[in-house]
A and B are shown apart, each in its own frame.
Chain A
Amino acid sequence: MKSKVDIAIIGGGIIGLMTAFELAKRGEESIAVYEKRYIGSGSTFRCGTGIRQQFGDPANIQMMKRSVEKWKTLGEDMEFPKFKFAQTGYLFLLYSEKEVENFKKNVQLQNSYGIPSRIISPEEAREIVPGLDISEVIAASWNHTDGKANPFLAVYGLSRALKRMDVEINEYTEVQEIMVKDSRITGVKTSKGEVKADIVLNAANAWAKILNQKLGLDFPIEPYKHQGIVTEPFKLGEIKPMVVSFKYGGAYLTQKANGGLIGGIALKYGPTWDLTPTYEFLREVSKNFTKIIPALKYMSIIRQWGGYYAETPDHNAVIGKIEEIEGYYLAAGFSGHGFMLAPAVAEGMAELITKGHTSLPLDFYDPYRFKRGELREQAIQMG
């Protein structure tokens, strides 16, 4: 482990690794990532795999549009073609006139930014996913350019690329303190020793707050337990898009490349650090999933796990330069959207760090909005 670097990144999840990748591509030569367990172990490996542009506000729509462009070429960019962005769409099932009205507004906004989403009929929805129960569905919001990707392969591919680019990845190395002198970053104190650095990026998501509090900084990010399941594999192509139903549990579900179903519902616990899976979730997820696709009752659940949504009061992340400490940056509190947003956030952070500004709308995620009482409209969130 080096004892001095230019940029120290705390957190070896998708945000930290992707930002390291963007910085290295811009010619930064001395970057290190510190991860307290193994890379991806925090929230990235526990995520639901979805990547969508169907949001309800201009900032998230633009960020996700940029992210999708970058997800499409990530396999090539990191020279790991095994990683593929599956552009299989997102299908929101709508059951009431009020829901349809809201989604029509969102679609209009999405279209104005060039996202080809549209409202379709229940019958069209069933052509996309043949197993759907559409007896209560009155319309659906559909965008074929949304999709999903495998977080394991994204992280593995990035780690290979970063090693080639001489970025130091330190696993099982916990950052215990961020070192500051005269309101300037001086480095990080890790479980394996101190490292000098001029710039520190806190990308620890659910854990970001712990390090901030030691510095006397308070940005509201709380860990909530959400859960996911996978089933045994079945015939490929049955559930290509991510299917979402707010009526049935705030559920999201899709078929993975290996044939198993992955998904979750909005049932959450917290704030808590406990991640023990609950029987209540197992039952509720089955109840809601079988309402959406009745034939799923024949499928067996093989795994259930918990993970954090690092939530903020408006369910939007906290991203930006920290004014109180020169050289300190924060990108955390992704509220369940960190994986999908990572490419655009990483690009924005890399520009912010190297040039001092970015053309991406990172201001929307301004860490100081909470203190000013300027909460954003809640981001569309399920799971």
Chain B
Amino acid sequence: MSENPREKIIICRCNDVTQKEIEDLIDQGITDIEMIKRITHIGMGPCQGRTCIPLVASIIARKTGKKVEEIEIPATRIPVRPVPMGALVGDEDEE
């Protein structure tokens, strides 16, 4: 068991990504939020980045000395909320 609390801080609740994982990537020189997203899948779970993207942007800002506003946020994808396929085909017994 690790003593490092950053390993226990979850940044992305959809995909269980920790603060340490994000910071380790930045330490390796991966500071582009687009690449961090692809490597860790932050922002790509059911919540679509509502929680994690601002947190990751602020971690990048803190570690690189950039301003949060300078960090370009990845594209927002539709649908805005998860939609069951049954609802899209008009299936009556859609749950």
Contact = CB atoms under 8 A, between A and B. Distances in A.
Interface of A: 37-41, 45, 152-153, 155-156, 171, 230-232, 258, 277, 282-283, 286-287, 289-290, 296-305
Nearest to B41: A258
Contact of B35 (A156, A286, A301, A302): A156
A302 B85 contact: no
Contacts of A296: 85
Contacts, number: 80
Interface residues of B, number: 25
A275 to B, nearest CB: 9
A231 B83 CA distance: 9
A157 to B, nearest CB: 10
B79 A38 contact: no
B1 interface: no
A153 B32 CA distance: 15
A interface majority secondary structure: mixed
B46 A45 contact: no
Contacts of A290: 85-86, 89, 91
A297 B48 contact: no
Contact of A300 (B32, B38, B46, B75): B46
Given A41-B34, A152-B39, A297-B84, A304 B78 contact: yes
Contacts of B91: 290, 297
Interface string B51-66: 0000000000000000
B22 to A, nearest CB: 15
Given A45-B38, A286-B85, A297 B77 contact: no
20 contacts: A38-B34, A45-B38, A152-B38, A152-B39, A171-B32, A231-B85, A258-B41, A283-B88, A283-B89, A289-B85, A297-B91, A298-B85, A298-B94, A301-B85, A302-B45, A302-B46, A303-B48, A303-B77, A304-B79, A305-B77
